[in-house]
Amino acid sequence: MLTRVLPFFLSVIISSLVAQQLPNVLWIVVEDQSKHYGFNGEGLVKTPVLDKLCKDGVKFINASVTAPVCSTARSALITGMFQTSIGAHHHRSGRGELKIQKPDQVKLIPELFKEAGYYTCLGTIGHVAGTINPKHKGRLGKSDYNFEWDPSVFDAGEWSGRKKDQPFFAKICLSGGKARTAARASKDIPHVAASKVKLPPYYPAHPELLEDWAAYLDTFSLVDRQVGQIVDRLKKEGIFEKTIIFFTTDHGVSHARGKQYCYDEGMMIPFFVHAPGRIKAGTVRKDPVLHIDLAATSLYFAGIDIPKYMEARTLFGPEAQARNFAVSARDRCDETYDRIRAVRTQRFKYIRNGYPERPHLQPCAYKDNKPTYIAIRDWGKKGKLDELQQRLLLSPNRSPEELYDLKKDPWELKNLANDQKHTKILLKMRKTLDEWIKETGDRGQKVESEKMYDSDMKIYMDGQAIRGRKERADEIRKNVDQMKKWWKEGK
């Protein structure tokens, strides 16, 4: 009898010890913010909590998203795959009658953690801080994946329901740049005066843009306060030192050269890893990294085998392999069809526009109704934009290729693609992208079927109508007709 019982108790004890040694893994993913944090040198914001976490961790100053828009970036992050490799590259796709199935072998990161005995969470600051509406307590946080998936891979919105000593994996989503109004109205954070804002040179100093940017900067202080709440809870529960924190955003600021575009404002993100006792604190790394590398690195820290199919790379450990370049891809966003690919090294950026005959600011109901866009177009009509702003924002077409020397031109203002002095680097970057397209099987090179497009547009327009926004639904329909017209014209 003893010989049968003893192995059982030994296995229970060993499992408990292993669980106690495994770290918790926490992803803090913020929406719609570029790199404007104090730890990246932005002087107008106050982010002491994040500055301290970053200082005590490893900061990556050349981090990019694989897609500068939320659903495609999130689809990539949760799988550790390029969205273009798994058919999830069109923003808000597979939402209608026609669905998208990810490749069978590809598992979601929380699925891998759950198989390893972790308690898995997908929540918001409300879940973590205990301030969420009781009616919504059972709901998960934002997923926004462009393929069919099983919500049961997540156990809850936060980790209080886990077993004793069970490690957790948690992805906590913060509204960030989308919370401009809330941040501006908050009495708990410092505020940025519009008069102190200095916009990038490609944006006009229009009062609407200045106020919007000031409100945007306020969201950084709001995020810092929310992260402070998360850190306080970890310390109160005595698990702060046992928790590896990854901090990043899903893409850059929602603006005319940010979100949905492959300029640095859209594709470059803040990113650091805080892992007490596991990495060298205070390190700053310059090598190009991708947001999906967060997925592989998390598996590494948890001692979980990184699947061989995975395109993400661990950033630490004996298997770490630095990237020479980063690729970001933009495809259809809502009703607006486009194909942009960007290759970025530490020094140069190469952009390929798949539809150069279309304007930079294509018709897009989501963006065209933003006050900032209305202001830009208004000043354009009135001749109040300078030559640079008019050319970069309101040109009726684009260059097929763009090349920028980021060291000399960090704002990406001077296109060197036709400069003979840079022919060699242009050819090299062009070849790099061609090889990446082939090696990863970039599905975005093939035009989306009209049936799939119509399926997603129907659910999109129906959703607007249900919310009582018939005019917006009509605007989307008009834009859809324009997209189809351009297709027929070969533009």
Domain ranges, ordered by start, for the chain: 9-320, 450-491
Non-local (6+) Cβ contacts of 1 within 8 A are: none
Between CA 261 and CA 122 the distance in angstroms is 27
The model's pLDDT over 376-417, given as tens digits with 9 standing for 90+, comes to 999 999 999 999 999 999 999 999 999 999 999 999 999 999
Question: Which of the four pLDDT bands, split at 50, 70 and 90, describes residue 136?
Answer: confident
Q: Which phi-psi region, left, alpha or beta, contains residue 278 (left: φ > 0; alpha: ψ -120 to 50)?
A: alpha
Residue 208 three-state SS: helix
Please provide residue 86's backbone torsions phi and psi, each rounded to the nearest 5 degrees.
-115, 10
Among residues 213, 177, 176, 180, the alpha carbon closest in space to that of 194 is found at: 213
Instruction: Determine the distance from the C-alpha atom of residue 268 to the mean position of all C-alpha atoms in its chain, rounded to a whole number.
Output: 9
Is 30:124 a contact under the CB 8 Å cutoff?
A: no
How large a percentage of the chain has pLDDT more than 90? 94
Indicate the average pLDDT of the chain: 95
Is 31:174 a contact under the CB 8 Å cutoff?
A: yes
pLDDT score of 17: 40
Between CA 2 and CA 94 the distance in angstroms is 57
pLDDT at 12 over 70: no
* Residue 191 or 138, more confident: 191
The model's pLDDT over 55-67, given as tens digits with 9 standing for 90+, comes to 999 999 999 999 9
Domain 9-320 class, CATH top level: alpha beta
Provide the token pair at 251: 């893409």
pLDDT score of 4: 52
**C-alpha distances in Å from residue 230, one per residue of 123, 124, 159, 420:** 12, 10, 12, 52
Between CA 3 and CA 161 the distance in angstroms is 34
Quick one: DSSP state of residue 227? H
**C-alpha distances in Å from residue 471, one per residue of 210, 367, 399:** 28, 15, 33
The model's pLDDT over 187-208, given as tens digits with 9 standing for 90+, comes to 999 999 999 999 999 999 999 9
pLDDT at 16 over 50: no
Among residues 255, 248, 298, the alpha carbon closest in space to that of 73 is found at: 248
Q: What is the mean pLDDT of residues 37-52?
A: 98
How many residues does the structure list for the chain?
A: 491
pLDDT score of 134: 87
Q: Using the structure block, give the residue that is written with the tokens 């351009």.
A: 486
Among residues 250, 252, 255, 254, the alpha carbon closest in space to that of 266 is found at: 252
Non-local (6+) Cβ contacts of 40 within 8 A are: 61, 270
**Rounded to a whole number, what is the largest CA-CA distance in the chain?**
91
pLDDT at 8 over 90: no
Residue 60 three-state SS: strand
Please provide residue 377's backbone torsions phi and psi, each rounded to the nearest 5 degrees.
-65, -35
The model's pLDDT over 410-466, given as tens digits with 9 standing for 90+, comes to 999 999 999 999 999 999 999 999 999 999 999 999 999 999 999 999 999 999 989
Q: What is the mean pLDDT of residues 353-362?
A: 97
pLDDT at 149 over 60: yes
* Helices (H), ranges, 124-206: 125-129, 180-185
Provide the token pair at 461: 């327009």
Pairing outcome for strands 58-60 and 348-353: unpaired
The model's pLDDT over 200-256, given as tens digits with 9 standing for 90+, comes to 999 999 999 999 999 999 999 999 999 999 999 999 999 999 999 999 999 999 999
The model's pLDDT over 259-281, given as tens digits with 9 standing for 90+, comes to 999 999 999 999 999 999 999 99
Q: Using the structure block, give the residue that is written with the tokens 């590494």.
A: 300
pLDDT at 15 over 50: no
pLDDT score of 135: 84
Pairing outcome for strands 271-274 and 63-64: unpaired
Between CA 156 and CA 277 the distance in angstroms is 28
How large a percentage of the chain has pLDDT more than 70? 96
